[in-house]
Amino acid sequence: MVYAFSENYILPLSHDEVVHGKGSLFGMMTGDEWQKYANLRLLFGCMFAQPGKKLLFMGDELAQWPEWSHESSVGWHVEMEPFHAGVQKWVADLNRAYRAEPALHELDFNPDGFEWVDYQDAKNSTLSFIRKTRAGGDLILAVFNFTPSVCRNYRVGVPRGGLWKEILNSDAREYGGSGQGNCGGVTAEPVKCHYRPHSVNLTPPPLAAVLFINRDK
């Protein structure tokens, strides 16, 4: 993020990532089968939440197992399998949120649209940052848990009070996750954390991306 705003960046998970013996994105994920799907959803969540335009190559949104080949079609038949369908729905919902929420795209190439909350929590293997609009209205808090364990009572600093509604959670059961989350949202308390006047007490799910929005009133 030191130089992310010096150019108009594209965040690619492209053709070059899934050919010439590299395998599919699913095949690059670590862990057991459930963790592979969770890690892939987490990867896509990170990409869509960060500044920069997105590029996702055909078939990646289906979590297809084989490496892409120009000799065969995309494996659309895997939509019938719950885990594959869950990843596809996750990518679809990420696209909808990216289009609908100005905080996720309006200041893609401007440092005013991005603010780290915590980038050095190595103990819990988490990241958190805030995306902002040009007018400073709606705020989106993005939190990522890179461990296969639920992180309970995890406090994150936020710049203002009120409801922080959970709008995306890659661990939701509809995506093939374990169903851990924050009951639809959390209310910020006047408890200082991360050098901010308010904070929220969260439950980051395992291997998951969670996005919250605080609407400007």
Which domains, from first to last, does the chain contain?
A: 10-100 (no CATH), 107-214 (2.60.40.1180)
CA gap 143, 21 in Å, rounded: 33
Six-digit token string for 163: 């409801």
* pLDDT per residue as tens, the chain (217 positions): 788 888 888 998 887 787 777 778 898 899 999 999 999 999 999 999 999 999 998 888 888 887 777 777 777 778 889 999 999 999 999 999 999 999 999 999 999 999 999 999 999 999 999 999 988 789 999 999 999 999 999 999 999 999 999 999 999 999 999 999 999 999 999 999 999 999 999 999 999 999 999 998 7
DSSP state, residue 112: G
> Angle 156-162-166 (CA atoms, 0-180°, nearest 5)?
65
Confirm if 63 and 84 have CB atoms less than 8 A apart: yes
Confirm if 17 and 185 have CB atoms less than 8 A apart: no
CA gap 28, 33 in Å, rounded: 12
